[in-house]
């Protein structure tokens, strides 16, 4: 029987392989893993919300059942604040970034960007959701509070990125820029265990993932490309939770698109805490991540925390083919 490798063991082992590693990033990743476990417990009992609420009323505790995305946000902040390695957080649930005070009398050298519960509209109907995170080294002085400059670094400056998918099982996938590994939560021992080492995205796949309900709102070249996917008899899969849709593509190959629409002329997804972390993972697994202007997402300038972007990501050969469609049909439209 092969030995179980837990997330903590894997992080420590990987740290040893990096010369001059200080252990700070490892501690941060470990604490994100703990926050994910706490969020997982709550996500799993989401359907019990009303029952728990009623019980609380009877007990007159005065507690409110929190919305899960707020709960997840608070847990991420709480665990990152305790880690002592994180000086600030930007989150989908916060208008501005928050500054975390130094604990343990040491400088905190990292900032974290996160969508604590992506696709949260799926919760009420028992469909998968996810947590997304990206980690950067701060560029401001460790002696001061973090600044906006720490958060508006390009995605290619991330030192680590990952997601947690709360699906039929709970899986944490992360990269520190040296390949991608996946860890499934074993409920029996309460640990994330290495289940998908060195994930490589297939060059092609049979899936395309896009909200085809917006078809008529897409630009001509995008409509042509989607027609092409349909002509090829590719299977359309769209869960409406980016983490879940991308996770399928990580293993089975395919392409995920969220183009501009009339409602979202810049695209809907957020560059900082959705597109950039997922792009780092996709690229590290051998895939490609660009916007509909065919620019590499990780090279895009970040101007503000809640900036939006269009997204095309997935298997290398399929994204390349999509690029050719855009080049061909946008030329005709001009
Ligand atoms: P959220 O962060 O508010 O949950 O929105 C992000 C989600 C993505 O997970 C998903 O890909 C997309 O929004 C779905 O949007 P739409 O319903 O427009 O297809
Ligand atoms: Mg989101």
The DSSP secondary structure of 226-262, one letter per residue, reads HHHHHHTTPEE---S-HHHHHHHHHHH--EEEE---S
Mean pLDDT of the chain: 90
Q: How far away, in angstroms, is 272 Cα from ligand 1 center? A: 15
Is residue 221 within 8 A of residue 278, CB to CB? The reply is: no
- Say what the pLDDT of residue 104 is: 65
Q: Report pLDDT digits (tens) over 274-301.
A: 999 999 999 999 999 999 999 999 999 9
Token pair recorded at residue 333: 């439209």
- 180 SS3 class: strand
C-alpha neighbours within 13 Å on the C-beta side of residue 168: 2
Q: How far is CA 162 from CA 48, 66, 169, 275, 321, in A?
A: 28, 25, 17, 11, 27
Token pair recorded at residue 2: 């092969």
Provide the β-strand partners of residue 114. 91, 133
Ligand 1 lined by 221 (C-beta under 6 Å): no
Enumerate the H helices of the chain as residue ranges: 7-16, 24-44, 49-59, 68-83, 148-151, 220-231, 242-252, 276-284, 316-333
Mutate to test the pocket of ligand 1, among 240, 246, 248, 308 (most ligand atoms within 8 A of CB): 240
Is residue 289 within 8 A of residue 283, CB to CB? The reply is: yes
C-alpha neighbours within 13 Å on the C-beta side of residue 292: 24
Is residue 160 within 8 A of residue 178, CB to CB? The reply is: no
Q: Report pLDDT digits (tens) over 30-82.
A: 999 999 999 999 888 876 655 443 444 443 334 444 588 899 999 999 999 98
Kindly list the catalytic residues: 63, 69, 92-93, 115, 117-118, 274
Instruction: State which ligand 1 atom lies nearest to the alpha carbon of 121.
Output: 4
- Say what the pLDDT of residue 333 is: 52
- Say what the pLDDT of residue 136 is: 97
Q: How far is CA 112 from CA 32, 151, 271, in A?
A: 10, 8, 14
Q: How far apart are CA 239 and CA 294, in angstroms?
A: 24
Instruction: Please report where in the chains the tokens 């297939």 appear, as a residue.
Output: 202
- Say what the pLDDT of residue 56 is: 44
Token pair recorded at residue 329: 């049909």
Domains of the chain, first to last: 7-196 (3.30.540.10), 207-329 (3.40.190.80)
Q: How far away, in angstroms, is 274 Cα from ligand 1 center? A: 10
Please give the average per-residue pLDDT across 311-323, as a whole number. Answer: 97
Please give the average per-residue pLDDT across 162-190, as a whole number. Answer: 95
Ligand 1 lined by 242 (C-beta under 6 Å): yes
Ligand 1 lined by 212 (C-beta under 6 Å): no
> Residues 6 or more apart from 2 whose CB is under 8 A from it?
none
| Helix 276-284 with 242-252: angle, nearest 10 deg | 10
Mutate to test the pocket of ligand 1, among 69, 93, 241, 255 (most ligand atoms within 8 A of CB): 241
């Amino acid at each position: 029987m092969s030995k179980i490798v837990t997330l903590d063991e894997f992080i420590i082992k990987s740290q040893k392989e990096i010369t001059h590693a200080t252990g700070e990033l490892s501690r941060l990743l470990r604490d994100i893993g703990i926050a994910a476990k706490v969020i997982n417990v709550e996500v799993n009992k989401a359907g019990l919300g009303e029952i728990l609420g009623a019980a609380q009323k009877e007990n007159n505790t005065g507690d409110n059942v929190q919305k899960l995305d707020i709960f997840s946000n608070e847990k991420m902040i709480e665990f990152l604040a305790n880690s002592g390695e994180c000086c600030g957080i930007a989150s989908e649930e916060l208008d501005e970034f928050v500054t975390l005070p130094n604990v343990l009398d040491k400088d905190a050298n990292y900032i974290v960007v996160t969508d604590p519960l992506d696709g949260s509209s799926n919760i009420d109907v028992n469909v998968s959701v996810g947590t997304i995170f990206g980690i950067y080294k701060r560029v401001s002085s460790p002696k001061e509070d973090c600044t906006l400059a720490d958060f508006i670094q390009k995605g290619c400056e991330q030192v680590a990125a990952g997601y947690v998918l709360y699906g039929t099982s709970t899986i944490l996938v992360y990269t520190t820029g040296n390949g991608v590994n996946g860890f499934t939560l074993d409920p029996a021992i309460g640990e994330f265990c290495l289940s998908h080492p060195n994930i490589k995205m297939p060059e092609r796949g049979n899936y395309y993932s896009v909200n085809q309900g917006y078809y008529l709102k897409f630009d001509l070249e995008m409509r042509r490309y989607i027609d092409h996917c349909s002509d090829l008899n590719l299977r359309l899969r769209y869960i409406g939770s980016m983490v879940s849709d991308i996770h399928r593509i990580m293993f089975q190959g395919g392409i995920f698109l969220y183009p501009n629409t009339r409602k979202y002329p810049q695209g809907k997804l957020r560059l900082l805490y959705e597109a950039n972390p997922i792009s780092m993972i996709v690229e590290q697994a051998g895939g490609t991540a660009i916007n509909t202007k065919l620019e590499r997402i990780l090279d895009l300038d970040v101007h503000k925390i809640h900036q939006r972007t269009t997204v095309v990501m997935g298997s290398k050969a399929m994204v390349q083919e999509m690029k050719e469609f855009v080049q061909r049909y946008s030329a005709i439209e001009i």
